[in-house]
């Protein structure tokens, strides 16, 4: 599936970057379908490895959707391509985040959840870079809009982040904690930000 990213202006010219996502793997619920979670892999990985692991969990009422990130040149690797939800320039907190890539990944999550039944709970989670993308998606939901200002249409009930970080602003984490309609499970252990451990309500 491809996604056309937000418009960028450069000297009066508008450029739209097409982003091609990889294969999506689905783990169907073994019991009554009560929730769907989009699970996002880490840098350099793919949806297949996580779908195999998630299939072994004793959670029979959850449908897992495990997409694969686009293959893109990574600035942190000197332009070497890797599967990644967004570009990373450095591990420093001061480096600007790739908002276009983050918005495209968050929109892809919404697209994957858009055909789910209306009577089930929706969630997003991930590991490492996938956790960062999941937490960014939850921030978009909490704010009601993407980073580019477009409305965020999905209604999330839960977000899970394992060994990741929250892109864009450390203040958004406090905003998320105050958002009562969202269950948060986040275990941060990253070189980009201080470590936190906060189980949601």
127-151 pLDDT, tens digit per residue, is 999 999 999 999 899 888 998 999 9
Identify the three-state secondary structure at position 138: helix
200 contacts 185 by C-beta, under 8 angstroms: yes
Helix segments in 67-128, DSSP class H = 99-113
pLDDT of residue 198: 35
Tokens of 7: 């418009």
- C-alpha closest to that of 137 among 156, 120, 118: 156
25 contacts 66 by C-beta, under 8 angstroms: yes
Tokens of 180: 């009562």
- What average pLDDT does the chain have? 81
Domains and CATH numbers, the chain: 18-199 (3.40.50.1820)
Please tell me the distance from the alpha carbon of residue 87 to that of residue 179, in angstroms, as a whole number. Answer: 28
Helices and strands (DSSP H and E) totals, the chain: 4, 13
Identify the three-state secondary structure at position 130: helix
pLDDT of residue 105: 97
Please tell me the distance from the alpha carbon of residue 72 to that of residue 162, in angstroms, as a whole number. Answer: 23
pLDDT of residue 66: 98
Question: pTM for this structure?
Answer: 0.81
Identify any residues that bridge with 127 across adjacent strands, giving them in sequence order.
Answer: 162
pLDDT of residue 8: 34
pLDDT tens for 153-173 read 999 999 998 888 888 765 455
Name the helix (H) or strand (E) containing 156: none
Q: Which residues of the chain have pLDDT under 50?
A: 1-16, 171, 189-201
Dihedrals phi, psi of 179, to nearest 5 degrees? -90, 100
Residue 53: how many CB atoms within 10 A of its CB? 14
Helix segments in 91-128, DSSP class H = 99-113
């Amino acid at each position: 599936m491809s996604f056309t990213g937000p418009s960028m202006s450069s000297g009066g010219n508008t450029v739209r970057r097409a982003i091609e996502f990889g294969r999506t793997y689905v783990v169907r619920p073994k019991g009554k379908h009560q929730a769907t979670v989009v699970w996002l892999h880490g840098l350099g990985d793919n949806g297949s490895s996580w779908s195999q692991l998630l299939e072994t969990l004793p959670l029979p009422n959850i449908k897992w959707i495990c997409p694969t990130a686009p293959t893109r040149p990574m600035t942190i690797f000197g332009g070497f391509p890797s599967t990644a939800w967004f570009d990373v320039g450095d591990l420093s907190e001061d480096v600007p985040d790739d908002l276009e890539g983050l918005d495209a990944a968050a929109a892809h999550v919404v697209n994957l959840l858009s055909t789910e039944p209306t009577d089930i709970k929706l969630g997003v989670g991930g590991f490492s870079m996938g956790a960062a993308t999941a937490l960014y998606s939850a921030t978009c939901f909490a704010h009601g809009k993407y980073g580019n200002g477009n409305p965020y249409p999905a209604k999330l009930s839960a977000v899970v982040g394992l060994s990741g970080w929250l892109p864009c602003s450390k203040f958004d984490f406090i905003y998320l904690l105050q958002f009562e309609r969202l269950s948060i499970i986040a275990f941060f252990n990253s070189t980009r930000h201080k470590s936190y451990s906060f189980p949601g309500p």
